[in-house]
């Protein structure tokens, strides 16, 4: 039972941190896509997180060979015959497991994948995945908690997504690159991790036009080849550090991330009074606290990402004025605010809206992390809470961060992991 022990900062944050690779939201998806190339594919800039271990186990259970080449580099060899079944005990731990569905259909013609798990932040239906794959010739049956899918040959189709779902876009992409004919995805997700998947698949020999836009045109090819790829920097981790600086105050520099990947976060922080600008290899930021509250609504990229929302709630809790945060993506993402209230935050939630009145300081308390970003947000709250804050259930935090405590400590915070 690990926990995070956080003490209040006695001075502003200062220093430089290199942002990790986006292992959770980009690297894991590319590991799944590597199943479509016979041979050894190498992915670098893959910092270790808990979900990475699960994906390694999952791919090996399917028949791939996964080797940790060094601290940030993994190879996936899918030369051997693949077993098209993703077992419950692994898939139930991580939603990214659904990304093996299309690669298995494209290479083996069938797949049996347990319904995916992950953070309890609300309903995340797979309807769009299923409708798109059925248009591409796939037969799908749901039996005893498993998705069972079959196809003789994937065929191109025009897919219009009712919502720019990242997961659906990724699954359709992986099906389309080896399908017969042309596939057009309208209202596709534009997140940097989706663009990075397009770049990765293109390196493997896929024919994809429109990467980074809302319309993707994919012309199927006969085969994909193994390749090497360095995954994109983690924009959510970068946003965590920017929010930490906004909460505590100080001057920090982030390396290994493009400011364009956090454009809406940077805009909102600027409206609050923080100074943020690009550097040659990342982002520079400076804040004098307290900042001014602003209203925030979560939206798909390039809007304000839902993963930033818990950090924004914490920031508004210690900013000047009143703010309203609206969560448009998931229906259960405000559950963690009860823990912030335990720390003295003035928060009221109603449906998808959260009203926050800023207070001068929070109070340290024993709190529990309900999911990855909520756990990180509670850690940030502890940086401006009188006394000691103990964040329990930090196995969730490990799912998305390589070593959050170490990174914050490099900036001058007093945070450490502790195990029983």
Q: At how many degrees (to 10) do helices 235-248 and 263-272 cross?
A: 10
Give the residue numbers annotated as catalytic, written as ranges. Answer: 119
Model confidence over 43-101: pLDDT tens digits?
999 988 888 988 999 999 999 999 999 999 999 999 999 988 887 787 777 666 788 99
Fill in the DSSP letter of residue 238.
H
Which residues on neighbouring strands pair with residue 359, listed in sequence order?
none
| pTM of model > 0.75 | yes
Q: What is the mean pLDDT of the chain?
A: 93
User: For the chain, which domains are there?
Assistant: 2-15+234-419 (3.65.10.10), 24-225 (3.65.10.10)
pLDDT digits (tens, 9 = 90+) for 148-160: 999 999 999 999 9
pLDDT score at 117: 53
80 close to 65: Cβ distance less than 8 angstroms: yes
Model confidence pLDDT, tens digit, residues 319-335: 999 999 999 988 878 98
Give CA angle at 116 (327, 196), nearest 5°.
70
- Preceding omega of 290 cis (within 30 degrees of 0): yes
pLDDT value at residue 122: 39
pLDDT given for residue 120 in this prediction:
41
Query: Tokens representing 147?
Result: 């998705």
What are the strands of the beta sheet with 353-357, ordered from one edge?
Answer: 296-297, 322-326, 353-357, 346-350
The 10s digit of each residue's pLDDT in 193-252 is 999 999 999 999 999 999 999 999 999 999 999 999 999 999 999 999 999 999 999 999
């Amino acid at each position: 039972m690990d926990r995070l022990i956080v003490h209040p900062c006695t001075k502003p944050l200062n220093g430089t941190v290199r942002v990790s690779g986006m292992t959770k939201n980009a690297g894991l998806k590319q590991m799944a896509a590597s199943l479509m190339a016979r041979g050894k594919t190498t992915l670098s800039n893959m910092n270790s997180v808990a979900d990475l271990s699960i994906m390694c186990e999952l791919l090996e259970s399917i028949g791939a060979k996964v080797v940790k080449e060094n601290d940030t580099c993994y190879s996936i060899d899918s030369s051997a015959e693949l077993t098209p079944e993703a077992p419950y005990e692994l898939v139930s731990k991580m939603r990214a497991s659904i990304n093996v569905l299309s690669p298995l259909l494209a290479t083996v013609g069938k797949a049996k994948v347990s319904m995916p798990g992950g953070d309890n932040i609300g309903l995340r239906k797979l309807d769009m995945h299923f409708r798109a794959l059925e248009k591409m010739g796939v037969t799908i049956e749901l039996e005893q908690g498993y998705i069972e899918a079959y196809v003789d040959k994937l065929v191109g189709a025009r897919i219009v997504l009712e919502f720019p779902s990242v997961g659906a876009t990724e699954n359709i992409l992986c099906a389309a690159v080896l399908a017969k004919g042309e596939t057009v995805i309208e209202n596709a997700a534009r997140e940097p991790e989706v663009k990075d998947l397009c770049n990765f698949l293109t390196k493997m020999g896929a024919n994809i036009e429109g990467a980074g836009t809302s319309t993707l045109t994919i012309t199927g090819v006969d085969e994909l080849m193994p390749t090497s790829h360095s995954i994109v920097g983690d924009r959510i981790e970068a946003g965590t550090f920017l929010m930490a600086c906004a909460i505590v105050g100080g001057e920090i520099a982030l390396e290994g991330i493009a400011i364009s990947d956090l454009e809406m976060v940077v805009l909102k922080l600027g409206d609050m009074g923080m100074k943020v600008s690009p550097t040659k290899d990342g982002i520079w930021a400076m804040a004098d606290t307290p900042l001014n509250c602003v209203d925030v609504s979560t939206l798909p990229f390039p809007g304000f990402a839902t993963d930033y929302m818990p950090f924004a709630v914490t920031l508004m809790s210690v900013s000047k004025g009143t703010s309203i945060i609206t969560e448009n993506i998931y229906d259960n993402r405000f559950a963690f605010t009860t823990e912030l209230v335990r720390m003295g935050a003035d928060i009221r939630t109603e449906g998808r809206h959260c009203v926050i009145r800023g207070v001068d300081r929070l109070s340290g308390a024993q709190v529990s992390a309900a999911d990855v970003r909520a756990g990180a947000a509670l850690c940030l709250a502890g940086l401006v809470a009188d006394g000691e804050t103990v964040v329990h259930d930090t196995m969730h935090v490990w799912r998305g961060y390589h070593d959050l405590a170490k990174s914050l400590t490099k900036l001058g915070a007093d945070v450490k992991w502790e195990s029983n």
